[in-house]
Amino acid sequence: MAMKLTYTGVSVIVDVERPLAGYLDSKNLHYAARDVEDQIKRHCDGIDSTEILFRTEKTCEYCGSNWTEDGDIYNGGCCRRVLW
């Protein structure tokens, strides 16, 4: 028997990028995402459910380098800032 591919659903992802995500803090970004979600529900028929997902990245708060360590205090010497 050969494999049969059956579609069981579909999702539409709406990326909200700049300028919306560029100047808002995390609290206001949540409110803005809810506003976009409400607008989609109001203007589109057949919406079964919606879900808001946030993409995040971990960086050093001092120098901005990508975070590479498991812990959240020390990043393997990415910058010369003295921690003590």
Strand partners, 59: 66
- Residue 83 burial (C-beta neighbours within 10 Å; 0-12, 13-18, 19+): exposed
Pinpoint the alpha helices (H) of 24-79. 26-43
The pLDDT value recorded for residue 14 is 81
The percent of residues above 90 in pLDDT, for the chain, comes to 4
The pLDDT value recorded for residue 17 is 66
